[in-house]
Amino acid sequence: MRTQLPDSVTRMEETAFGDVADLIAQARGERPPKDRQQVQLILGRWDSASLLRDLAQEGIATEAQRLDTDEVLIQVVPGRDTPVAVAAGGSPRAACHAAYLLLERVLGFGFFLVGDQIPDLRTWKPQAMKLRTKPAMDHRLFLTHPFFAGPWRYCCRLWGEGEWRHMIDWMRRKRFTHMVSYHDEGGYLWGDAFIDAFPKARTRDHEGFVMDPDRRT
């Protein structure tokens, strides 16, 4: 499988599509079988991916030009000289969501808080399918809270940089849009940034919303 990036990408798409390409590289191994046709994975939006417009000339993924803002189109077409798998969205965010949706629904990837499920794409055979869908809700939230009695993955107050990176990667892959936390977590999540931006906040009492970094555990 070869990942084909759009002609132009936003910063959001660059991050997600690069991640998708890395995941597929892990799944197919260093040396894909030479006797198997290489599937072309085409990512992006109608207005940024000329390959999508080229496919439309063959009657493939024509709906990509009519997608709503949060809508995605997944289509696999095996009956070509070069089989294609399309993951298109109506906006940069939707294009990112489409790419991860294809990984889960079509290729067999799984994204979990405890780690990722990476399939063996060396044995994957493309099957014709098409899915046009959009999330039931515009805002998809993940709640974190100071659950000290449970696993670290549920307690953002205990996370270091590595855990935060893991959580942000997981939320992107699972198409969440916001992280929600209890109000007193504010001092732990952005206390340093707030204090740096507003130094006089240190002169206030320590009962305010933002926890002085010197007093945080």
pLDDT at 172: 94
- Over the stretch 63-82, which tens digit does the pLDDT of each residue have? 999 999 999 999 999 988 88
Indicate the pTM of the whole model. Answer: 0.81
| Mean pLDDT, range 21-41, rounded to an integer | 76
Q: At which residue do the structure tokens 């010197």 appear?
A: 214
pLDDT band at 1 (very low <50, low <70, confident <90, very high): confident
At 181, list the tokens.
């936390």
Check residues 84 and 191 and name the one with the higher pLDDT.
84
- Over the stretch 106-130, which tens digit does the pLDDT of each residue have? 999 999 988 899 999 988 889 999 9
Strands lying side by side in the sheet with 2-4 = 2-4, 40-44, 84-89, 72-77, 129-133
Half-sphere exposure of 213 (CA within 13 A, CB side): 10
